[in-house]
Every structure is written in structure tokens, then in C-alpha cells.
Amino acid sequence: MHTSSPRILITGAAGQLGTELTAELQKLYGEANVIATDIRTPKNFQGIFENIDVTNTIRLAYLIDKYKITQIYHLVAILSAKGEQNPTLAWQINVEVTRQILEIAREKRLEKVYVPSSIAVFGDKTPKHNAPQYTILNPSTIYGVSKLTCEMLFEYYYQKYNLDVRSLRYPGIISYKAMPGGGTTDYAIDIFHKAVARKPYECFLKPDTYLPMIYMPDALQATLQVMHAEAHKLRVRTSYNIGAMTFSPRQIFEEIQKHLPEFQITYQPDFRQQIADSWVHSIDDSFAREDWGWQPTFDLPAMVADMLVHLQKREMAWA
Ligand code: SER
């Protein structure tokens, strides 16, 4: 391992994004340079893992010293649906912990910090189609309010302390390796698990609810691209819009049905419908395209075909 490699600490490494991002970072920088952390220990983890409750920032600071960390990927967050059930916890985890991490990064002069934002920063006053990078942001969930606050903090720490914080406003992320928890876009993952189990799916959103989504390989690619971009190229110091695809429950159902003709769906909207209705349908990501070459690979048909191949393989292995 060459000594110039960054030394990375990831929070939320056992989560939906963390599981796959950790593996990518290990491939890029070597297992010895990537410290995965989470409140729960993942099964069969390969590499360096430390248990941590992120609210314990003293331990976090200790681990940063212990492993001579130079970059943090802070992925822990309480998502939209779970946040509405416990707004106080969402604020504490999403804002207070993030601010403390920025403080630690500033004090310890870390080279770079990555923290995700989300389409949840948009609201019902944001243009629904091709939501611009700079536009009205009136989030309706505590998740959106907290992520928007974080975006302001990223810019503040950059301007005031020259801390190099980078961020993406992820659409709903679709993946098969680790399950998401507590999001509104999670229906687009649950639906696959029912389909491959040959069970009908009861959707908690209405059939024509359009939301921006992204397939995990594209989300990983975008994350690494923004982290590797030259600092002077980054015009956005809050969080970059990124778009990949847009679809509704009806459309993803019909796409799955092309592969599994017996598959059935019913619709039983719950409180998450209101959350979804406050978000936008599609994203203008021209800043990301111009500044660091963002270009998604997967559209709806390609994503559905790939998800089904992987989940069916797993079904067969378990059978
Ligand atoms: N996937 C998130 C959620 O549904 C949106 O960022 O809460």
C-alpha cells in the first residue's frame, strides 16, 4: 500500500449505501485504509470494523486519531418515514451529530468529508419537473428539514473554515445487497422482494406517484466521482442535484411484470403518500454533469432486469 492513500472512516457502514460503498472504497484504497463503523456489526465482514454509536463523538474522535483518518464518509441518517415517527431523534442524528463531525473534521484538519443529502430537501413549492439546483426548498419532513440544515452547514464550514465537505442529493436508491430502512422510496425495493418470492405486493403509495430514483451502481459512481473531483471544479458547496430515472409504482410494477407475468400489485396508500407528494418528479442535474462529468448508466428497464437477475440468483441459492 502506498503511503499517500487516504485513510477513510465510514459511519453507517452496515446500512444500505454503506455496505456497498465500503466494499468499493476497500477495492480502491485497500482494506487496511478503510475503517468501517456502525452501531451493529455486519455478518461476515471483511476488513477493519469498529462498533460505534455515532452520538458518542468522543469515541468517534478517538477512532479518527487511532487510525490516522484523513477522510470521513458520514452516512448515518434517520430517513423520511422513520423521522416522522421520531422527529427529535431525527434532528439529533441528522443535524447534531453531523455538526459535531464537521467540528471534529475542522479541528483535526481532515482532508475531505462526504455527507449525503436527499431529494427530501425539495418541497411542494419546488418545480416538480427538472427541479433546479438553486430553487425554492421548503421540505415538509423532519428528514428534509434536517438535510437542508446540513447543506447550509456544509457551505458554512467550507466558506468559514475551508473544510472540504462534499455532498449529493440522492434520489431514492435501489439496491439488492442490504435493505434500506425507514424511507419513502423503499417501496421500489420491497416490490422486488415480493416479486421474486412469488407473492403479491401491497404498495403504500398510489399508482401514479412519480419519484426520482437511482440504481446503486450509479449512486456509487456519483459518490466516488464527486469525491475525486478537483476541488476548484466544484461550484456547489451545499449538495449536488443528481438525477438518473423517474418512475411511478405502476410503471415499475409493469416493468417487473414483463419478466414475471404472474406478479400482482394492490395499492394501500398510508402516511408516506403525503411525503412522496411533497417531493419532485425529476431533477435538473446540469451542475453535476458540467462540474464532474455525471452521467447515469441505468434506466428503469435496465435496473429492473439487473435487480431481478441478482435477487433470483439469491432466491435459488436459499431454496
Ligand atoms: N430514500 C429517502 C427516503 O425515502 C429519500 O432520500 O427517505
Mutate to test the pocket of ligand 1, among 76, 119, 189 (most ligand atoms within 8 A of CB): 119
pLDDT of 110 over the 90 cut: yes
CA 103 – CA 86 distance, rounded (Å): 25
First to last CA, the chain: 41
Q: Which atom of ligand 1 is nearest to the CA of 172?
A: 1
pLDDT in tens, 233-272: 999 999 999 999 999 999 999 999 999 999 999 999 999 9
Q: What is the mean pLDDT of residues 193-205?
A: 97
Q: What's residue 1's pLDDT?
A: 44
> For 173-212+244-318, which CATH superfamily applies?
NAD(P)-binding Rossmann-like Domain (3.40.50.720)
| Residue 12 beta carbon below 6 angstroms from any ligand 1 atom | no
- Asked whether the domain spanning 173-212+244-318 has the same topology as the one spanning 8-171, the reply is yes
Bigger pLDDT: 257 vs 179 = 257
Distance 25 CA to ligand 1 centre (A): 23
Nine-digit cell at 183?
Answer: 424511507
| DSSP-derived secondary structure for 279-304 | S-S-B--HHHHHHH-------HHHHH
Coil, helix or strand at residue 71: strand
- Model confidence at 2: pLDDT above 70: no
183 lines ligand 1 (CB under 6 A): yes
Q: Where are the domains of the chain?
A: 8-171, 173-212+244-318
252: nearest Cα among 305, 182, 199: 305
Contacts of 157 (CB under 8 A, 6+ apart): 102, 105, 106, 163, 165
Q: What is the pTM of this model?
A: 0.97
68: CA distance to ligand 1 center in Å?
A: 32
**Annotated catalytic residue within 29, 62, 134, 143:** 143
Mean pLDDT of 11-33: 97
Q: If we measure between CA atoms, which residue out of 105, 82, 108 comes closest to residue 94?
A: 82
273: cell is 403518500
Q: Residue 215 is placed in which grid cell?
A: 440504481
Q: Which residue has the cell 415480493?
A: 194
Residue nearest to atom 2 of ligand 1 (CA): 183
pLDDT tens figures, 275-296: 999 999 999 999 999 999 999 9
Grid look-up 453507517 returns 12
Catalytic residue flag (residue 267): no
Backbone angles phi, psi at 120, to 5 degrees: -70, -10
How remote is the CA of residue 247 from the centroid of ligand 1, in Å? 15
Q: ∠ CA 261-266-270 to the nearest 5 degrees?
A: 145
- Which class in CATH covers the domain with range 8-171? alpha beta
